[in-house]
Structure 1
């Protein structure tokens, strides 16, 4: 019973789930692969130009006016410069840095000494030797330091050139890849729209079809879901089945009782037949006894008068037998077991069969009675299906129009991409030319260092000067390129990437598209999404309310994978929640309410059975005890035997032989009567008493059983009459709740699935994310990296220019010093030979030069050295004030031991 109630209460909530497509192109493009090393520049740009909303809104207003051709591009730039002080400062810095090489080169050229200021003279040998000690070391150290610094700068320049080349190629690759990504995005958008429409159609239509089919199944199984629960409930609380079984047992007991009465009546009939004959013979015997008494002598008359025989009238045996035979109660009880149609047991069986059939066939009766109501419910469900199909048709038309707009956008994008590729090609060529220019200048500096490494100091110096001049010219071009790339990258980062990644508010993007709206000349009343849906919806669409959803909320919900139906408030267009709400459909509610079970079959359907049982109970009120006792006390056989015994004793006392002989003859006749009639009658009397006793023993339990069954039947019928209506109503209400439950389950399932996981708008966010990933990370980041690399090269040029010119001067001075050394060595060949011998000898030598300077002159310049060497001709002249005395001392070490040496003056 509990299982059946649970089966009625439990409503299946499993519905067919839609299958989303996975044929999207964007995930296969690999836009998220790779490393984006210049993303940090966006943080730097945010510090350069703070992202203040008033400033941004001002620029957005300018963009909208420019988009709708209210202002020219030049005016847009001029107005934008008013609020872009950070970029103006960057441009100024770039320009100033680009002037550093030119300014320094001009200053270096103006301050350069003439080449003949150190011409060698006849006494230059001493000066060369002095410079070799004081300048050669410092110049070589200076050359090494400047060369090292220039090498580091060149390495950094090469790294910058490589970065420029890589970023430029990345930009070109992203630009070439942009049409593919955009077309793939549009194809994915169309795929998403079609898939979303398919999934929502599946959920709405198939869900309703499933719910309708389940309702039809329940209407077909109304006998099991409604009739049988009522039947089982009433059977449980009334025990009517048990009562019917007990009545069947009464029928069996009644048959046994009837058979007992039949046996009794048979015994009574035979006893009556014998008693009639015995009564006649006893009457003859009484006549003969009377004649005998008259014939007795006077002397024997008193003895003869003592003889007396009791007939059946005196005992009342025949009356009692007749009374039992004529007893109507016994006749009714006997008739219960008969198979005749007029018998009460036959009537009881018929009524019991009819009642049991009425109770057991109640479920089928309920099904037959609810056929018309079930047909009405199915008609109303068909109307609901038609309305839902019309709603889905509105959805299909709206999404079809959106798909058409996407396709038209794809067709329009072809002409745009041609222009886009041209601009991309121009930018790529400009970047490539700038990179090559930077590389050439870097190679000039690198070749200068190569000449220096090969001791071609003159060529190295000239090449360095040429590199500096090239830097002066190229810096201006590189700064212009850097400014252009910085403006493009920074503005793209600020006005496009930052709004696109301004999660979760998307304030500027929402302001740009929703309000005031860059696409629409006038501000949309309910936002861009509501505007698109309003334009795409059919003209006869009945909006329950406008779609009011912000772009930021839609993006955030799509990022979370929410359903498109709830995200874009499609219920405002379709009004599906109201159409599938059965409580708002009065005709459907009335049709469902009309389905129910009636209690009429149970009202008074056991009244006739109760009447039969009451008659049987009345007939069972039969007292056979007195009759049985009377029959027990009556014994005609004993009376005759007593008469025979008395007759024999009297006959023995009679003196008259004739009288005695007649008495003996009378006794013989009485004996024959006793043996032939009264003895069988006595046996029948015993059988009658036995049957009466057995009847009493059977009748009492049977009457109790009838009374018990009657009482239970009355109570059951009373319960049916009073509570069957309530039971039927409650069970019918439960059944109707089950029918409504299918519609509620469909509504809840549809609402939950449409708002949660069905037709997830995540693909739209993936498209949005792919586009911003392409533009910001694949174009803007490399573009920012390009201008940053160009700026790095520009700054390194500003550093390399002084280094190059100073190194060129160093090379020049070393060259002059080398020339003087060669001139001095030509006048001192012997010193050179000795020097060669010293270098080839196994003795280690060291030349020590001591310079004695007078107290008046602690240092001397090149000019002073020339003067002093020109005026001093001997050792005595070196004693003058300020004179320089040069002594050459040779130290010779033996076997490289610094403690074992010899000094000699050269």
Structure 2
């Protein structure tokens, strides 16, 4: 019986654990996005870009100074005109005031572009036609010995270094563009792929929400459909808990009954064994007594104790009368049959079966309630599904298509450019850098050759070939400077116009503090463009800056796009929660009739009455014990055997044969004691123990029956009186559990939608990445290019001027007669060379002039 209760307890514990397990919901899945960084592979370029941005910030006014003008220009201005060009022409003075820094740089550039070719042409004409460019090709003795040569050389060296530094930047920038061409499509695609991932994550998150609700719906439907277990088992457990004392009392009665039956069986077994052993003992004793009586007839008359010996044979009688045991045994058999007929185990199983049938009773009585609750769950499901269907996902998918198209276009355009055109750009960059490198190389070669071979004492027209080559190198660099500088200035002006405005009024306003986004909102409001309507959320009042700020803080798309105007999560939760009241109303109608449960049934009552009628206490245990005490005494047999031995010793002198016979009878008696009296003693002990145990049980048996009867009656009355309240209480707890599960999901649903659904920090990251790519890759490269070129061009003219001055110290020149060269410390050979040089200069001057004219005209045509 104890195993029945153990198994039942385990089943109840498992059922309670299963029903108490609540649903746990995981957070919305989030995508892993690419970490797109803009790395400058050449660290020196970062310093170049910083200098460029600082220069741009000096030249151009902040965007805040230009904002009102742009606003009036875009929105039509005070005249309400819709012609952009007319508005721009009408407000050119305001624009000029705002662009004064740029206009100053532009004016300087235009002057440079105009004046440098003009001056170059004039110098060319003077040089070729008048042979007087830079003054006459003579040098006085005083000039030759002056320190101006050192000053010009140091100045030109410094200028050359200043030209060489940006020249290096030109080459580095050109190489960096190669990396950009390779990296830009890859990094752009990675950023745009993040946008596509983010867009794809939104329906995935919706599917996750739907899946989690599916789990809840399935759990609720399972609980409601299996109401016999989910509601019936708790009711059954309550009844079992209330029945615990009664069933334990009933079980104790059953254990007492089992003990009584076991004791009765022991009495029956011990009595039967005793009958057999006593009969065998009496037979042996009777045989031995007859043999002893025969032996005593030959007792010698000379022995005076013969009469006493003959009288002592009564010690071999059985010594007990067990005839009364038969009447007691009949009484025990009657009680035993009555107890077996009661079958308390079967009655306990009947009570347990009545209680375990409660889940089936609940199932049978709640069919209509279950159907109503399932209909309510269907309504909640429909409400949630229809609400989710109102989200404007079509716009998001359209945007995804546009992003994919842009991504494909960028990849295709960059691939085509890299394959077909980038080589030309690279060659052009190398040519640009090479021109400046050649100019710097010529300056350095000229200074090196001229300085190393220059001697102040030497007559100018007798200067060495290496000194003259140094001067020619310098003049070649001067010529290249005049030829290319104005062309480079055109390139600088164009790129500065685009790059400077792009850096100041595009990149910087698109970066933090994002003035461009705020300005965009102002323009959209002024022009009547509503991005809320574009996103199918016309009442939201969305702004670009507001969306961007929300995404920067990683808010959900629900908050960023103010989707409460389309899908109000609060209303959805309230509507769904309102429908939950139907649970309580429907489950409050649960009616389970427990009156059919009778733990104190007529069968149990009859069985208990039969147990009472058996009346174990009516057994005459005193007579039974009295009969048991009237047994053969074990002490008399051994004593009597010793008595015979002692008598044999006394009579041995008179009749040895008689004494021997007595000793044989003594031995036989001891054998009877050992072989036949010991089993009788054991059976008597066993019987006595069983009778005493049965006597003890008989004293409490009727009390146990009465206590069991009272407990069952009380339990039956409690179930009949409180069964309805018990059902109502459990139904309320069941409905509260269902509502708790739904409320738990709604709380999770609200948190996920308002905090995690479409958390749009990836949009902010993609924006910053794209701006970084456009500005740090493209715009910085463009600005670095014009800044390097402008830097070089800025030093070309001073370098040309100083170079022309310095070249006259290295080249072969004419001399003045009046300067004292002739009367100076010259030897005859130098004087002869001096005279020959003067004659040659006079004769070859006209031919040299023609050659230089043709050469310079050819250079101008080539340029």
TM interval, shorter chain, is: 0.5 to 0.7
1:210 aligns with 2:231: no
Distance in 2 (alpha carbons) for counterparts of 1:764 and 1:695: 90
Q: Which residue of 2 aligns with 1:775?
A: 774
Q: Which residue of 2 aligns with 1:70?
A: 83
Residues 57, 207 of structure 1: alpha-carbon distance in 2 compared, 3 angstrom cutoff? farther
Q: Measure the CA separation in 2 of the matches of 1:10 and 1:573.
A: 36
Q: Work out which of the residue numbers 155, 163, 173 in structure 1 matches 2:169.
A: 163
| Structure 1 match to 2:788 | 789
Which of 350, 356, 359 does residue 360 from structure 1 map onto? 356
Alignment of 1:21-60 (within 5 A): 27=36, 31-32=38-39, 34-35=41-42, 37=46, 38-40=48-50, 41-51=52-62, 53=64, 55-60=66-71
Aligned position for 1:399: 396
Other-structure match for 1:150: 156
> Contact conserved, 1:471 with 1:801, CA < 8 A, in 2?
yes
Matched, 1:81 2:96: yes
Larger displacement relative to structure 2 (771-780 or 442-451): 442-451
Structure 2 counterparts to residues 218-367 of structure 1, below 5 A: 218-219=223-224, 222-239=227-244, 240-246=246-252, 248=254, 354-367=350-363
Distance 2:231 2:600 in 1: 26
SS in 2 for 1:600: coil
Distance 1:614 1:620 in 2: 10
Match of 1:601 among 581, 594, 598: 594
Bigger radius of gyration: 1
Shift of 1:793: 1.4
Distance (whole Å) between structure 1 residues aligned to residue 696 and residue 162 of structure 2: 129
Deviations 1:447-476 (A, max 9, x none): 644663575555655665565566456554
1:203 CA displacement:
0.9
> Alpha carbons of 1:700 and 1:582: their partners in 2 closer, same or farther (altered >3 Å)?
farther
Q: For 2:228 and 2:13, locate their aligned partners in 1 and report how far apart those are by CA, in whole Å.
A: 17
Q: How far, CA to CA, are the matches of 1:8 and 1:463 in structure 2? A: 99
Cross-structure match for 2:497: 487
Structure 2: distance between partners of 1:425 and 1:85:
38
- Measured in 1, the distance between the counterparts of 2:469 and 2:829 equals 32
Look up the match of 1:732. 731
- Contact 1:561/1:762 (CA < 8 Å) preserved in 2? yes
- C-alpha separation in 2, matches of 1:699 and 1:831: 163
Q: For 2:566, what is the secondary structure of its paired residue?
A: helix
Cα deviation for residue 813 of structure 1 reads: 9.4
1:440 deviation in Å? 6.2
RMSD of aligned residue pairs (Cα, Å): 5.9
Q: Decide whether aligned partners of structure 1 residues 113 and 232 sit closer, same or farther in structure 2, where only a CA change above 3 A counts.
A: closer
Maintained 8 Å contact 1:244/1:356: no
Contact 1:59 1:80 in 2 (8 A): no
- Separation in 1, partners of 2:60, 2:137: 56
Please state how far the C-alpha of 1:773 moved relative to its aligned partner.
1.8
Distance 2:16 2:735 in 1: 14
CA distance in 2 between partners of 1:745 and 1:818 (Å): 113
Q: Given that residues 478 and 803 in structure 2 are in contact (C-alpha distance below 8 angstroms), is that contact kept between their aligned partners in structure 1? A: yes
Offset, 1:235:
2.8
Checking the alignment, whether the CA contact within 8 Å between 1:153 and 1:800 is kept in structure 2 is yes
Between Structure 1 and Structure 2, the one with more helix by share is 2
Contact 1:444–1:463 (Cα < 8 Å) also in 2 = yes
Q: Encode CA deviations 1:705-736: one digit per residue, 9 max, x unaligned.
A: 23322333344345445555454444333333
Structure 1 position 804, deviation (Å): 1.7
What displacement does 1:405 show? 4.7
8 A Cα contact 1:15 1:210, kept in partner? no
State the Cα distance separating 1:444 from its structure 2 match: 5.8
The answer to whether the 8 A contact 2:63-2:504 is kept is: no
462-471 vs 81-90, which deviates more?
A: 462-471
**1:310-334 deviation per Cα after TM superposition (whole angstroms, max 9, x unaligned):** xxxxxxxxxxxxxxxxxxxxxx999
Given the superposition, is the C-alpha separation of residues 114 and 98 from structure 1 closer, same or farther in structure 2, using an over 3 Å criterion?
Answer: closer
Of 513, 516, 536, the residue aligned with 1:509 is: 516
TM-score computed with the length of structure 2 as normaliser: 0.60
Q: Deviations over 1:379-435 (max 9, x none)?
A: 443444445444555545443333345467679989999999999999999988866
Q: For residue 305 of structure 2, what is the aligned residue in structure 1?
A: none
Deviation for aligned residue 1:13:
0.4
Please state how far the C-alpha of 1:42 moved relative to its aligned partner. Answer: 2.8
Within 5 A, what are the aligned runs for 1:616-627?
none
Conserved? CA contact 1:154–1:442, under 8 Å: yes
Could you tell me whether the CA contact under 8 Å between 1:475 and 1:797 is conserved in 2? yes
Q: Deviations over 1:542-585 (max 9, x none)?
A: x7x94455434543554565554554444543445644667435
Q: What is residue 709 of structure 1 aligned with on the other side?
A: 708
Q: Secondary structure at the match of 1:452?
A: helix
State how far apart, in whole Å, the 2-side matches of 1:55 and 1:374 are: 71
Post-superposition Cα deviations, 1:799-833, rounded to whole Å, max 9, x if no partner, equal 3244223313444698749998985689644999x
The CA distance in 2 between the partners of 1:222 and 1:116, in whole Å, is 119
In 2, the alpha carbon distance for the partners of 1:181 and 1:438 equals 33
What is the match of residue 452 of structure 1?
Answer: 450
Contact 1:255 1:336 in 2 (8 A): no
Q: 1:171 to 1:350 in 2, by over 3 A?
A: closer
CA distance in 2, matches of 1:150, 1:820: 29
Structure 2: state its 5+ residue gaps: 1-11, 266-333, 454-463, 624-691, 832-863
Could you tell me the TM-score, scaled by structure 1's length? 0.58
Partners in 1 of 2:101 and 2:724 — Cα distance? 88
CA distance in 2, matches of 1:258, 1:466: 140
Q: Distance in 2 between matches of 1:744 and 1:497?
A: 49
1:516 is paired with a residue whose SS is helix
CA shift for structure 1 position 54: 5.3
**Distance in 2 of aligned mates of 1:103 and 1:695:** 143
Decide which of 563, 586, 606 is 2:579's aligned counterpart: 586
Counterpart of 1:532? 534
Once the 2 structures are TM-superposed, how far is the Cα of residue 184 of structure 1 from its aligned partner?
A: 6.8
Give yes or no for contact 2:475–2:803 (8 Å, CA) kept in 1: yes
Q: Work out whether residues 257 and 333 of structure 1, in 8 Å CA contact, stay in contact via their aligned partners in 2.
A: no
Aligned to 2:288: none
Q: Deviations 1:672-728 (Å, cap 9, x if unpaired)?
A: xxxxxxxxxxxxxxxxxxxxx999987763332233223333443454455554544
TM-aligned CA deviation for residue 11 of structure 1: 0.7
Q: Deviations over 1:87-135 (max 9, x none)?
A: 334445656788998999999x99999649878xxxxxxxx7xx6xxx6
Q: Distance in 1 between matches of 2:616 and 2:479?
A: 149
Q: SS of the counterpart of 1:601?
A: coil
Shift of 1:743: 2.8
1:555 to 540, 548, 563: 548
Secondary structure of the structure 1 residue equivalent to 2:535: helix
How far is the alpha carbon of 1:172 from its aligned partner?
8.6
Q: CA deviation at 1:441?
A: 5.3
Shift of 1:513: 3.1
Q: Quote the Cα distance in structure 2 between the aligned partners of 1:438 and 1:98.
A: 18
**8 Å CA contact 2:372, 2:586 repeated in 1:** no
Q: d(CA) in 2 for partners of 1:172 and 1:60?
A: 39
**SS of 1:72 mapped into structure 2:** helix
Q: Deviation digits for residues 304-361 of structure 1, max 9, x if unmatched?
A: xxxxxxxxxxxxxxxxxxxxxxxxxxxx99997695xxxxx69x99876554322122
Change (3 A) 1:471 1:255: closer
1:876 maps to none
> 1:468-499: per-residue Cα shift (whole Å, max 9, x none)?
56645655444443333223222112222112
